Amino acid sequence: MTAELGHYALVLALSVALVQATIPLLGAWRGDPGWVGLARPAALVQCFLVTVAFGALMYAYVTSDFSVLNVASNSHSAKPLLYKISGVWGNHEGSLLLWLLILVLFGAAVAAFGGNLPAPFRARVLAVQAMIAVGFLTFVLFTSNPFERLLPAPLDGNGLNPLLQDPGLAFHPPFLYLGYVGFSMAFSFAVAALIEGRVDAAWARWVRPWTLAAWCFLTLGIALGSWWAYYELGWGGWWFWDPVENASFMPWLAGTALLHSSIVVEKRDSLKNWTVLLAILTFSLSLLGTFLVRSGVLTSVHAFATDPARGVFILAFLIVVIAGSLTLYAVRAPAMKGGGIFSPVSREGGLVLNNLLLSTACATVLLGTLYPLFLDAVTGDKITVGPPFFNMTFGPLMVPVFIAMAVGPMLPWKRGDLLGAVQRLKFAIAAAVAALLLTLVLAYDGPWLAIPGIALGVWVIAAALEEAAHRLRLFRVPIAESMRRLMRSPRAAWGTTFAHAGAGMVIIGVVASSSWQVEKLQVLRQGESVAVGAYEFKFEGATPVAGPNYGAVRGTFRVSRNGAEVAVMQPESRSYQDPPMETTEAAIRTGWGGDLYAVIGDPTGDGSWSTRFYNKPMIHWIWTGALLMVFGGLFSLSDRRHRVGAPARRGRMAKTVKTAASMAGK
């Protein structure tokens, strides 16, 4: 019964979305307040209906209702509750429903909290949002219905892929989707602005919080995914440049660029065309990511769908969205004149450089991801473009980003003095040089690229701190005065400080862990030990253990350093029953200096076991840095400028005058 209710709610949601996609748009065009006013309740009703559908599917999962095909093929009664719930989105149909749920939640958020948007503009935004919903609802209803019945119902289900039965992965898809779909807001705002033919500072101020929120979620989602790969796959790698990872990384790069370019639109009324284009491209890349992952053109853990009809549908939808919005852009954009003029050396200039580099980097990732598909389609040659390609292209493009990232925030708007800015960064320069020399002394035997790498990370962190110190006028005015400035300075500026410092931490984590990792592959008997860098791992034996829905072999290793015991590590090798599958559970011990990582493999037959150990210095900085970036984003999001009063679009003239005045004051 609940399944039918869910299905029915989806059908109703489709009809509501169709109304919401057309009537408010016509209303805004004809100036009919009644039709315009329809957008808000429609968005709320649509959100309610999709929530009902999602709730119905979740109910079927929690109660293990195997008469629903989707539950029968992806769940099992013996699964822990958390994984019954996360199983809802651990499959193609359910994950699309989650996508849809997040889409309508964002729509409802605009309807509920977008009180400061002019009614016609809000109606247009919601209409565009509903068009996307129509596409996805049609897709779900016609090609991927999660509520299909299976009669007679089987006694038990097939179970969820054990690799996905993991807390890290239970939350990875929702956050990733919150990010992906969050960029639909930037897209809807951009398309609505194109329809209206007006992009101004107020527009940027409306778009920014949505983009920022989406960016935070996406960053968190990517970080969770890479953390999961690190501890679950047992290879100790955290990023493989796998096409599926790239699919989430491309919108992140474009979204990061969008975040920065919208600052210029907000503050300086410039770069409008580019920002609107970037908003369209960012969401297009999110859709492309969904297509790549869900259509089955790529084979990976993520590719659930192998039904070609689905791939064709998403591809068609992708083409309609991208071609449609770009056509609109081509027609409307030339009419939008940019405002403020700036010299290449200025805050705007720095942000432009950021945008150029990030979008070029994004393009190289796109090329590397799509080229194998293209070649396969054209010549039938099977190739892979692996990590070396991306390290060679993406890496060098990021170096100038990180160098400029430190200087940019020190430059004033309009016209800056590069030499002056660099002089004001003397502490950061000293720190970077010190790091360079220190690394050179400590790691004189290379790899030589690691040395400037570490210095670059230190440079970014130190510059972020130094910029904050300048803001507080620390040590140049009395401490009390600095404290007063601390309380008064805008949170958005602090967000920048945190996020930039986080990026610096990621650099250091990446460079250190990949340069100075120690790996040991060894067959061990009980009582034998092996040295991994400064640590000694002693094998105490392997014992069978039983989990809730799996059996496992657990190895015990005593780890010591200079004779003193530092840890007992117990990696497992698990065998699941439903579906039958084996997984590796690495044991990881995180200390200040980095991670120790132990894996137990197969018995070799004569009483010994194959084992693998790593010592990965500073690898936890990668995720700590990512979290700091997210924190920076959230902190900036709490800036009062994003909430109160500011977004109201005042009279055009008044606003222009006011912006000019506020700029003069800065």
Partner 1 sequence: MTRKQRRLYIVGGFMLIFASAAALVLMAFEENIVFFYSPSELAQKSEQQPIPPGRRLRIGGLVEEGSVQRDADGVTITFRVTDTVEVLPVRFRGLLPDLFREGQGIVAEGTLAMNGTFVATEVLAKHDETYMPKEVAEALKKAGQWQGDDE
* End-to-end alpha carbon distance in the chain: 62
CB 305 → partner 1: shortest distance, Å? 12
| Dist CA 411 CA 417 (whole Å) | 7
Any contact of residue 583 with partner 1 (CB under 8 A)? Answer: yes
**Residue (of 116, 137, 113, 180) closest to 20 by Cα position:** 137
CA atoms of 39 and 9, how far apart (whole Å): 19
Q: Which is nearer to partner 1, 285 or 287 (by Cβ)? A: 285
Cβ 322 to partner 1 shortest distance, Å: 21
Nearer to partner 1, 46 or 369 (CB): 369
Region 216-235 residues binding partner 1, contact defined as CB under 8 A: 234
Name which position in 15, 299, 423, 543 contacts partner 1 (CB under 8 A): 299
Site string (504-523) toward partner 1, x via CB under 8 A: -----------------xxx
Q: Report yes or no: 124 and 24 within 8 Å, Cβ to Cβ.
A: yes
- CB of 264: closest distance to partner 1 in angstroms? 12
Q: Which of 364, 482, 489, 624 binds partner 1 (CB under 8 A)?
A: 364
Among 2, 116, 360, 517, binds partner 1 (CB under 8 A): 360
Is the distance from CB of 79 to CB of 162 less than 8 angstroms? no
> Which CB, 280 or 358, lies closer to partner 1?
358
> Strand 564-569 vs strand 572-576: parallel, antiparallel, or unpaired?
unpaired
- Distances in whole angstroms, Cα of residue 143 to Cα of each of 11, 46, 298: 14, 20, 19
The CA distance from 36 to 292, in Å, is 36
382 or 666, CB closer to partner 1?
A: 382
# chain residues binding partner 1, by CB under 8 A: 54
235 close to 590: Cβ distance less than 8 angstroms? no
Map tokens 């709490």 to a residue.
638
Instruction: At 338, list the tokens.
Output: 């940019």
Angstrom CA distances, 435 to 410, 441, 639, stand at: 22, 10, 34
Q: Segment near partner 1 (CB under 8 A), from 139-147, 254-262, 459-467, 594-602?
A: 594-602
Residue 439 contacts residue 455 (beta carbons within 8 Å) = yes
Dihedral sign (CA 241, 245, 251, 256): negative
Min dist CB 525 to partner 1, Å, is 10
C-alpha distance from residue 614 to each of 259, 360, 625 (Å): 37, 35, 21
For partner 1, the binding residue among 4, 481, 565, 582 (CB under 8 A) is 582
Q: In the range 372-411, which residues lie near partner 1 by CB under 8 A?
A: 381-386, 388-389, 392-393, 396-397
Q: Which of residues 186-215 bind partner 1 (CB under 8 A)?
A: none
Q: Least distance in Å: CB of 300 to partner 1? A: 9
The dihedrals phi and psi of 30, each to the nearest 5 degrees, come to: -85, -10
Comparing CB distances to partner 1, the nearer of 64 and 610 is 610
| Least CB distance to partner 1 at residue 20 (A) | 37
For the CB of residue 132, give the shortest distance to partner 1 in the complex, in Å: 29
Residue choice 556, 584, 615, 659 for contact with partner 1 (CB under 8 A): 584
352, two tokens: 């432009």
The only residue of 95, 286, 556, 573 in contact with partner 1, by rule CB under 8 A = 573
Closest separation in Å from C-beta 365 to partner 1: 10
Residues 59-118 that bind partner 1 (CB under 8 A): none
Closer of 363 and 474 to partner 1 (Cβ)? 363
Short-list 328, 353, 333, 355, CA closest to 343: 353
Least CB distance to partner 1 at residue 156 (A): 17
C-beta closer to partner 1: residue 281 or 361: 361
Binds partner 1 (CB under 8 A): choice among 423, 590, 604, 638: 604
- Does position 610 bind partner 1 by CB under 8 A? yes
Which residue, 279, 424, 407, 394, is CA-closest to 344? 407
| Closer CB to partner 1, 81 or 378, in the complex | 378
Among 312, 316, 320, 367, indicate the residue that binds partner 1 (CB under 8 A): 367
Least Å distance, CB 274 to partner 1, is 9
Least Å distance, CB 295 to partner 1, is 12
Q: Which of residues 168 and 601 has its CB atom nearest to partner 1 in the complex?
A: 601
Cα–Cα distance measured from residue 213 to residue 217, given in angstroms and rounded to the nearest whole number: 6
Query: What binding mask, one character per residue, do residues 408-427 give for partner 1 by CB under 8 A, x or -?
Result: --------------------
Report the 10 Å Cβ neighbour count for 364. 17
Q: For partner 1, which is the closer residue by CB, 402 or 623? A: 402
Q: How far is the CB of 255 from partner 1 (least distance, A)?
A: 19
- CA atoms of 279 and 261, how far apart (whole Å): 10
Distances (CA, A) of 565 to 10, 419, 532: 59, 53, 14
- The gap from C-alpha 495 to its chain's centroid, in whole angstroms, comes to 17
Spatial CA neighbour of 398 closest among 352, 347, 461, 456 = 456
Report, in Å, the least distance between residue 544 CB and partner 1: 17
Whose Cβ is closer to partner 1: residue 322's or residue 356's? Answer: 356
Residue 531's H or E segment, with its range, is strand 529-532
**Rg of the chain on CA atoms, in Å:** 27
Q: Is residue 152 reached through a cis peptide bond, with omega within 30 degrees of 0 on the bond before it?
A: yes
**Identified binder of partner 1 from the candidate list 447, 478, 579, 593, rule CB under 8 A:** 579
- CA separation for the pair 587, 555 (Å, rounded): 10
Q: In whole angstroms, how close is the CB of 217 to partner 1 at the nearest point? A: 27
Does 327 sit near partner 1 (CB under 8 A)?
A: no
| 3 near partner 1, rule: CB under 8 A | no
Of residues 234-273, those binding partner 1 (CB under 8 A)? 234
CA torsion 132→135→138→141, rounded to 10°?
A: -60
C-alpha dist (Å) from residue 579 to 63, 74, 162, 575, 576? 19, 9, 8, 10, 7
Residues 148-177 that bind partner 1 (CB under 8 A): 161, 163
The least distance separating partner 1 from the CB of residue 163, rounded to whole angstroms, comes to 6
Rounded CA-CA distance 595/618 in Å is: 7
Among 63, 148, 167, 306, which residue sits at the site for partner 1 (rule: CB under 8 A)?
Answer: 306
Residue 145: helix, strand or coil by DSSP? coil
CA distance 302 to 96: 13
Task: Build a one-symbol-per-residue string for 329-358: x at contacts with partner 1 by CB under 8 A, - elsewhere.
Answer: ---------x--xxxx----x--xx--xx-
**Could you give phi then psi for residue 63, rounded to 5 degrees?**
-90, 5
| Least distance (Å) between residue 70 CB and partner 1 | 18
Cβ neighbours around 476 below 10 Å, total: 10
Give residues in contact with partner 1 (CB under 8 A): 161, 163, 234, 299, 301, 306, 308, 338, 341-344, 349, 352-353, 356-357, 360-361, 363-364, 367-368, 371, 381-386, 388-389, 392-393, 396-397, 521-523, 573, 579-584, 599, 601-602, 604-605, 608, 610, 612
